[in-house]
Amino acid sequence: MSQRTRRYATVKVAAEYAATSTNTIRRWVQQGKVNGFGYGTRFLRVDLNEIDAMLSGHAVKVVA
Q: What are the sequence ranges of the domains in the chain? A: 2-63
CB 45 within 8 A of CB 39: no
pLDDT at residue 61 is higher than 80: no
Inter-CA distances, 35 with 24, 27, 39, 55, Å = 13, 11, 13, 14
pLDDT at residue number 57: 77
Residue 10 banded pLDDT, cuts 50, 70, 90: very high
Alpha-carbon distance of 54 to 64, in angstroms, equals: 19
Q: Which pTM does this prediction carry?
A: 0.77
The per-residue pLDDT for 5 is 87
Which of these ranges, 2-6, 22-26, 27-31, has the smallest mean pLDDT? 2-6
How many Å apart are CA 24 and CA 59, to the nearest integer? Answer: 20
Which residues pair with residue 32 across a beta bridge? none
d(CA 36, CA 57): 19
